[in-house]
A and B are shown apart, each in its own frame.
Chain A
């Protein structure tokens, strides 16, 4: 067992590390024993003198599945940021799901941080597994969960919705978190996600970090639609254009976030998906949907934004008309700036323009939002199912060229 004490400076977001302790173990009783030992070590010096163990702060169990070291590193970074203010029992499972002879080993670590003058300690259990089956993984994870606290499964990468490892862990969970923004094959995986949520065999609420990234967009858009002059025309939308960031001219970028945004509008406004999408010369997808007995065109296209995360929505535009009335509404964010310009024009009048804050949320903030809720997010589920149906209309090569 190794013990180290490190101090790093606080950058304002990440609480300063006060100490870090680590131990190895090979089975569940070993892990539990290692945790008890660590807890005695990280008891604050004052508490230790009085014979008290350190306080473990937890509001939730977080089981993270990472298929690669890169995913694991990203998850660890998010957890470190989250721990200061939303401490959870973390079980990080780095596993190769390919069949083989089972091999599992574990390391346990505890770190204590000072966040706004308060000492917060949290424990992480890191499991490396190969060739383990679903029941095998479940039998390791289950006893390590803190009882009475909700369990969140964060599956990094594209979840294999039918794999027994995924299903076993999902059945342990109060909520499954995914990030459609990092899907390797977004169009295909979104379709599978839609089917998974329709499936009654397993009824666990799903949350998507990428959906939360869209939250500021949805909120501002809803607010722009609050005035009756605008909301009354919402059933009469004729055009929707969504632009997502691409890194280079003519480059490709995942389409998941655009599909979710379109899926949200489609599900809230009762649009019906129509026939297969066309791809324009510039590479944009043009989908024809039906709304209130009339045609509606949805265009998903790329926009050069080198500083933004590829696939992030950068702009959207809506147009509606009915009888003598029409509205044109636009929102756009230049790059990664935390602001968006909005413009609303009613009946051809000069547009009302505003600048609003549109925060770019970190993984930890997105996770924190998800951990705050336990119930199913019906609006998201409707949007994701619709996004899956829209994804099915895209050309078969929609996922090509993505890393």
Chain B
């Protein structure tokens, strides 16, 4: 019996998962598990599988997906039988596909240029099928090819379909997979990974989800938001739920408000065509910022697992007070950049960018004040803002605590003192800092704020993996915790639907541009927070 002909399909999926300690803890050790796996540093090794990438000639495949898979291979996290099949319309041979992907690895992999021998071994398992996804025949061809590869390479019938295509053709791919029976899990698992955007409003998101549900069970669906794969984002859960000192003060009694900032210094980088149909709310606020916000606001889950975490996140989304009152949009402001200077370079305005209408009213900045109507967060506003062409690239969550109830010190002692802030930096310089009041040395009593810093880079030796590496491995192992569930996506759209609708149908177009490139957004955003007696931080 050879490697390739071994009947892997006789073994249920769970058989392969026992090899990871995580799973082993939950069930008794099975007698046939590999005894050499015990105590290994890397406890998460994927079972053999084939990943089919639709949109294989696209940028994401070359920049992120294949470098992530290659790094997983380099770290021995995926087995030698792992197979990649690229599908897209361009005509290309296997060899050309491999060459193009190697260029991508050489240029974009966090571990530098591909190591020749390792790459050769990995690339042997890469294939390419040209095909139009509108043509049902493409999927039959694909199925035949996958069956052949299963035998040839011992990939055991496990399949992952990665939709890295424009969202417009998600539907036909899902349908094609269904019609050809590739959605079935009779030989091994069949999973589908979908890249955002998951729709462009509540209705389209629901329609897409319906389409997916027609062919795949929710347990097979992995909606990827790479933000969730970032170490600091995951560390938010560790910070809150592993440290006993934060959770007791994580509520309205001690927290004054929360600010979430995702600032970009870049513009739209030539993606005018896309951005004109999207805007900051759809592109950033509705997904990335809301992810961060829900992680801050959610209740402690009973278990950190797929449904434990996602149930709590959905509960937060459902507790957010609607942004529209009687059809009028409130608590959301938007902006669009005009020309200016960013990071020492002159930048053109949004309307001057390529592919953008000269009278565009698409927002490149959006800020919102959200209220979470539950016991924990009543009267604690969450201020969220994101924009392009802001002074610098920074993402952070700042939890501002309430002022001490009574400051017994003389008033001149506290002029330089601000309430405590716990700032969680996502990028750059991942880490956190807590500002605390300290006495300035000397004979006078003077208090000033100092930072107590924790930087990831300074405390841990290993480089964190790229978000895609983590997420792809999670999908191979069947862990959906860091992927979005159907109801999470739909609830996420529902709350912004009225704003999107109102903006699309308003008669009087906004007075854009309303902020200069290289500044912290429009004046309206300042008013949004200042009317509550608070100010935006300068992160």
Contacts and interface: CB of A to CB of B under 8 A. Distances in A.
Interface of A: 51-52, 55, 57, 59, 82, 85-87, 115-116, 118, 120, 215-216, 218-223, 225-229, 231-232, 234, 265, 268-269, 325, 338-339, 344, 346-347, 349-350, 352, 354-357, 365, 368-369, 371-372, 377-380
B450 interface: yes
29 contacts: A51-B441, A85-B457, A85-B458, A86-B460, A87-B458, A118-B455, A118-B457, A215-B41, A218-B36, A218-B40, A225-B36, A226-B37, A227-B6, A228-B15, A228-B32, A231-B34, A231-B35, A268-B36, A339-B115, A339-B117, A344-B3, A346-B2, A354-B80, A355-B120, A356-B118, A357-B75, A357-B118, A371-B461, A380-B39
A59 B121 CA distance: 39
Interface in B70-101: 74-76, 79-81
Contact of B32 (A220, A221, A231, A369): A231
Nearest to A265: B36
Contact of B45 (A218, A226, A369): A226
A333 B387 CA distance: 51
Interface string B162-189: 0000000000000000000000000000
Contacts of A219: 40-42, 76
B35 A234 contact: yes
B530 interface: no
B34 A82 contact: no
B3 A349 contact: yes
B307 interface: no
A354 B121 contact: yes
Given A82-B461, A85-B457, A228 B76 contact: no
Interface string B16-57: 100100000000000011111111111001001000000000
Which label, helix, strand, loop or mixed, suits the secondary structure of the A interface?
mixed
B1 interface: yes
Contacts of A347: 1-2
Contacts of B15: 228
A366 to B, nearest CB: 11
Contacts of B450: 52
B501 interface: no
Given A86-B459, A346-B3, A354-B121, A118 B429 contact: yes
A338 B75 CA distance: 12
Contacts of A59: 459
Contacts of A118: 429, 455, 457-458
Given A118-B457, A325-B1, A222 B117 contact: no
B2 A225 contact: no
B213 interface: no
A115 B456 CA distance: 12
B343 interface: no
B346 interface: no
A371 B459 CA distance: 11
Nearest to B117: A355
A118 B74 CA distance: 29
Nearest to A371: B461
A85 B38 contact: no
B274 interface: no
B203 interface: no
